[in-house]
Amino acid sequence: MQEELQRIRRETLERMAGIVSEAELNSVQQEVFGKNGRLTTILRTMGQLSKERRAAMGAAVNEVKKELEVRLSEIRAALKQKAQEQRFAREALDVTEAADFALPRGALHPMTQTYRTIRDALIGMGFSMFDGPEIELDDNNFTLLNLPLDHPARDMQDTFYINDKVLLRTHTSPCEIRALQTIKPPFRLIMPGRVFRVDEVDATHYPIFMQIEGFVVDRNLSLANLKGTLDSFIHAVFGKDIKTRLRPSYFPFTEPSAELDMSCTICGGKGCRVCKGTGWIELLGCGVTNPHEIMNCGYDPKEWTGIAFGIGVDRVTSLKYGISDIRIEYENDARFLKQF
């Protein structure tokens, strides 16, 4: 029996030396200490021994049992430790590592760039900002601007009416009325904003678009002042080589009225498809403020004169960047915007 005990001890220690997993450890434990394990079996058979031998054998078995149990729990602890170290190594974070935090950079919308170039050029000439509402009185949008009651622009087909007296402004020109009603002349104002017209969306029409109104009221203003003002910001947007001309036109709120053409940005004035062979591109409407408008706002047109212009920001932008479809300027597709 002593021999059997020593064999169990030796063989168990040998087996334990090669253990690499908790499952192996469990099965060795079962083989030795389990219900039918080798040591359990020895303990069970000890009842057959004489009293003296049983005492001696009992002490020997207990010693082996204790030794093996201690070894077992050492190995269990070592396996646990190793598993934890492996997990730590796997989950380790280098908190000092340089991270790629670079966020994709945005840029200003091309229309914003155009708008700011025009605005900055005008501010350099002593203009200030003035704001009017998008929901306007019919009076400000039409009547006081000298648009007669039967003017075609008042048609429901062209204007979003909210009720008989209120509408979505069709241009930024009603800001002129608000300026004259609230600020004492002389003044020089930039009045940018959204305007609205009933239009089917296509390559050249959009029902909401951006305008910039320029409005100067002072004594003795003339077309020459107007031309000089327009040239200075057109040169800022398109470069010094651009030529401009005023062509007679008609707007109810200006007299005389003109449209400003600039030399074609594509062919430089020789004539091409974009300028339809003329060498000129129509850019904006402008004029000397009609005395009726000045009078409608309570000022004496013999003393006060005005010059004014209205620009479509999308049009200037498409001419500057060669954009052939107005829709992409308003739809904010990132693939388009990324190019600016």
Cβ closer to ligand DAH: 19 or 147?
A: 147
Min separation Cβ 131 and ligand DAH, Å: 16
Min separation Cβ 288 and ligand DAH, Å: 8
Cβ closer to ligand DAH: 9 or 171?
A: 171
x-marked contacts with ligand DAH along 130-149 as a string, rule CB under 6 A: --------------------
The residue whose two tokens read 């498809």 is 273
Binding to ligand DAH (CB under 6 A) within 240-259 occurs at 251, 254
DSSP string, 147-190: --TT-GGGSTTT--BSSSSEEE-SSSTHHHHHHHHHSPSSEEEE
Residue 126 is classified by DSSP as T
Binding to ligand DAH (CB under 6 A) within 97-116 occurs at none
Strands (E), 34-141: 128-129, 135-137
Report whether 221 contacts 236 (CB < 8 A): no
Cβ closer to ligand DAH: 140 or 173?
A: 173
Cβ closer to ligand DAH: 138 or 213?
A: 213
- What gap in Å lies between CA 254 and CA 259, rounded to an integer? 11
Look at residues 211, 250, 246 and name the one whose alpha carbon lies nearest to residue 229.
246
The residue whose two tokens read 């915007």 is 337
Contacting residue, 29, 159, 173, 265, with ligand DAH by CB under 6 A: 173
Binding to ligand DAH (CB under 6 A) within 210-239 occurs at 213
Cβ closer to ligand DAH: 39 or 326?
A: 326
Please tell me the count of residues contacting ligand DAH according to CB under 6 A.
Answer: 11
Residues in the chain, how many? 340
Strands 280-289 and 166-168: unpaired
SS3 for 215-238, per residue?
Answer: EEEECCCCHHHHHHHHHHHHHHHH
Min separation Cβ 300 and ligand DAH, Å: 20
Interior angle at CA 175, CA 228 and CA 293, nearest 5? 75
DSSP string, 253-311: TEEEEEEEEEE-TTTTTS--TTTTTSSEEEEEEEEEEPHHHHHHTT--TTT-EEEEEEE
Cβ closer to ligand DAH: 132 or 269?
A: 132
Binding to ligand DAH (CB under 6 A) within 194-213 occurs at 213
Min separation Cβ 331 and ligand DAH, Å: 22
- What gap in Å lies between CA 170 and CA 142, rounded to an integer? 9
Cβ closer to ligand DAH: 171 or 178?
A: 171
Report whether 83 contacts 90 (CB < 8 A): no
Query: Which amino acid is it at 145?
Result: L
Assigned token pair, 222: 């003339």
Residue 174 binding ligand DAH, by CB under 6 A: no
Min separation Cβ 307 and ligand DAH, Å: 8
Min separation Cβ 177 and ligand DAH, Å: 11
Min separation Cβ 173 and ligand DAH, Å: 4
Cβ closer to ligand DAH: 65 or 171?
A: 171
Binding to ligand DAH (CB under 6 A) within 273-312 occurs at 285-287, 308-310
Min separation Cβ 310 and ligand DAH, Å: 3
Query: Which secondary-structure segment (H or E) carries 117?
Result: helix 110-124
Binding to ligand DAH (CB under 6 A) within 25-54 occurs at none
* SS3 assignment, position 215: strand
Cβ closer to ligand DAH: 293 or 329?
A: 293
Min separation Cβ 122 and ligand DAH, Å: 14
Which residues are near ligand DAH by CB under 6 A? 171, 173, 213, 251, 254, 285-287, 308-310
